[in-house]
Amino acid sequence: MLTRFLPFLNWFPMRADALRGDLIAGITVAMILIPQAMAYAALAGLPVVYGLYASFLPVMVASMWGASRFLHTGPVALLSLMSAAAIEPLAARGSEEFIALSMTLALMVGVMRLGLGAFRMGVLINLASHPVINGFTNAAALIIGLSLLNTFINVPMPRSDMFLRDLGQVVVQFPLAHWQTIAFGIGTLVVLSLLKRHLPRLPGVLIVVIVGTVLSASLGFEKKVTVTPAQIEDAAARIAFEDYARLETELTRTKAAQHALNQQLRTLAKTDLHDFTLEAESLRLAGEEQSIKKQLYGLRVAVHRFALTPVDVNGATVYRAPGPDAGWFADTWRFAGARDGEIKLTGGGQVVGAIPAGLPGFALPGMDLGVISGLFGTAFVMALIGFMEATSISRALAAQSREKLNPNQELIGQGLANMVGSFFQSYTVSGSFSRSAVAAKSGARTGFYAIVSAVGVIITMLYLTEYFYHLPQSVLAAIVMSAVFGLIDFKSLRHAWRVNRSDGVVGLATFIATLWMAPQLANGVLVGVVLTILIFLYGVMQPRSEVLGRAADGSLAGAISHDLPPISDDYVVLRFDASLVFINSAFFEQAVMKAISQFPDAKTVLVIGNGINRIDATGEEKLRALASDLKRAGITLALSGLKKPVREALDRAGLDTVIGRENLFPNKEMALGVLDARYAAAT
């Protein structure tokens, strides 16, 4: 009973070899976890330090209360992107509001997972079929990788409600790309590939982070300067920069007004009073905020097109448009931001920057009911997808180690990890395939290895964050790209198409829907699930049903599909391959009547009922009415091979007397023998 509520007690007592294996695995995983966590936090639209926060307590809690000893929980690419996509319509990336909503979303996902596990609802994973998951994973991997293309080449990416349109805006900006940023990104991909192929035991991710940080600091990769508008001689650029600064100021003022207004509305709500003027003003401010954001997104791309060259004029530096002979490698500066009437320019690439040192403090996630209701659907899909991801990883590792898998306990562990983490500034986490696989290969014996990896993160947060300042953002983007592009597997989609065309259609439809509806990835899964259910219902409503004939070897087979003559002129044999329930009872009646119309001289219809696993009240009523109608027409309805539960249901309903016990046969061989004898005697 104690280990049921405290599963981590199963780790003890630990032998010396198990402890040694966990220590080695934990240290190895920590070297991958730290750079990955920062990369995934950037993908989630958060400062990189929040990736470290999500790699601390959630890792410990999930390992202590989860079911798999190998599963490593923490930031993952897919849920990071889904988190950013869900929150971006509500707040600007990297803002305090965006960060707070990320914590709220983590709490919601955690509560849902914990509830599903506590009520043993792990079976909900079956709602998403393999083709749905496969189509979604392929599309999501493409979206994740391509969403970092702007960071890879150092150009802005507009954030609208359609990812493909935003990606097109990035592609057309390729002539404006920063060549040093691209060099860091390509170099990272090449080194990771070479290390994986030739030196797989080395922590490739950590190596590229260290090398990239050292090179960036040595080369002065980050170049920034703050200037006054007067120093920008290019009039068009100066006007565009000032317009951007003005819109940012308006956005700040609008958000402040919204905050004050919401405080008043919350105070009124406690007294059950309404002020419709304030509510109307709140709606107006919300619309104004969205309008300003859209303008800023579009203008951010426009202002990046202005390239400036520093020129010394009488001892002062001014910035002019470069001459016509300026090439790709010229010293050009572009807009980086504006504040307090001054303009920030950059002539280099983007780096991680200052990372706050220290452990995350306790903070209550926001509990605004309006926000929670808006995020509910996405949170539910994230809870299921994260669970499916974690379960598939656990199942694969359990098959290798012969470990017993408990999906509901894993749900509880994942739920607690997200809930506890949300109170300590963690965003949504889940199980990681790459880190879990590394742990298994490194000799992990128990979940204690994850505790060791979290301790490595703690040491980093306390003492090492300052050394990551010069880490190029393109290195982090390349790390994520390297991880997610390896998940693309179109062979599985082709295989599903070969096995079952409808499954192939579902997988392809999910893939296309996810791409088209991005960044709202959850909608792609919903499309796949709904399509799967519709195809399943169509199959149940119109199951396989065929008149049988006798083959040359004496066996029964479909008369039309195998071009066989009827078994007899006196009776017709019909096979029905489905349970007889409300959704297909009308189809059953149509199948029987069609058989009679094809064989008008038949005096008996024998239904081979081996495939009828269940019958409900609607099916029983349809069978009763059909037997009575056929009897009045001089035709006998007979059944064979009914399973015991179905036969007992007919007996309880008194249907055996309506059909006639002499017309209910235990198997088709006996039925055919009796019918042949019956009509032979009649002639």
Rounded to whole angstroms, what are the CA distances from 595 to 330, 543, 591, 601, 606?
82, 15, 6, 11, 10
Tokens describing residue 346: 């950059």
- Is it the case that residue 508 has pLDDT exceeding 80? yes
CA 252-302-474 angle, to 5 degrees, is 85
Task: Count each helix (H run) and each strand (E run) in the chain, helices first.
Answer: 26, 13
- Is it the case that residue 191 has pLDDT exceeding 80? yes
Mean pLDDT of 67-87: 87
Residue predicted with more confidence, 398 or 90: 90
Rounded CA separation 346/225 (Å): 6
Tens-digit pLDDT profile for residues 453-475: 999 999 999 999 999 999 999 99
- pLDDT at residue 110 in the model: 93
- pLDDT at residue 400 in the model: 62
Percent of the chain at pLDDT above 70?
Answer: 95
Rounded to whole angstroms, what are the CA distances from 269 to 47, 262, 279?
34, 10, 11
Alpha helices (H) along 402-520: 407-422, 433-441, 448-463, 473-485, 490-499, 501-517
- pLDDT at residue 429 in the model: 94
- pLDDT at residue 128 in the model: 66
User: How sure is the predictor about 153, in pLDDT bands with cuts at 50, 70 and 90?
Assistant: very high
Percent of the chain at pLDDT above 90?
Answer: 25
- pLDDT at residue 380 in the model: 86
- pLDDT at residue 50 in the model: 95
- Regarding beta strands 604-608 and 636-640, do their DSSP bridges make them parallel or antiparallel, or are they unpaired? parallel
Tens-digit pLDDT profile for residues 116-132: 888 877 666 666 677 88
- Is it the case that residue 55 has pLDDT exceeding 60? yes
Mean pLDDT of 275-288: 84
Mean pLDDT of 537-555: 83
- Is it the case that residue 519 has pLDDT exceeding 60? yes
User: How sure is the predictor about 46, in pLDDT bands with cuts at 50, 70 and 90?
Assistant: very high
Tokens describing residue 526: 């919903």
User: How sure is the predictor about 329, in pLDDT bands with cuts at 50, 70 and 90?
Assistant: low
Tens-digit pLDDT profile for residues 349-362: 999 988 999 999 89
Instruction: Output the pTM of the full model.
Output: 0.80
Cα distance from N-terminal residue to C-terminal residue, the chain: 73
User: How sure is the predictor about 208, in pLDDT bands with cuts at 50, 70 and 90?
Assistant: very high
- Is it the case that residue 439 has pLDDT exceeding 60? yes
- pLDDT at residue 402 in the model: 61
Q: pLDDT averaged over the chain?
A: 86
- Is it the case that residue 486 has pLDDT exceeding 70? yes
Mean pLDDT of 15-41: 90
DSSP state of 199: -
- pLDDT at residue 18 in the model: 86
- pLDDT at residue 473 in the model: 92
- Is it the case that residue 523 has pLDDT exceeding 60? yes
650-657: Cβ within 8 A, 24+ apart? 650/615, 650/620, 650/623, 653/620, 653/624, 655/620, 655/623, 655/624, 655/627
- Is it the case that residue 326 has pLDDT exceeding 70? no
Tens-digit pLDDT profile for residues 252-272: 888 888 878 877 877 777 777
- Is it the case that residue 323 has pLDDT exceeding 80? no
- pLDDT at residue 397 in the model: 66
Mean pLDDT of 42-60: 93
- pLDDT at residue 324 in the model: 62
- Regarding beta strands 342-346 and 224-227, do their DSSP bridges make them parallel or antiparallel, or are they unpaired? antiparallel
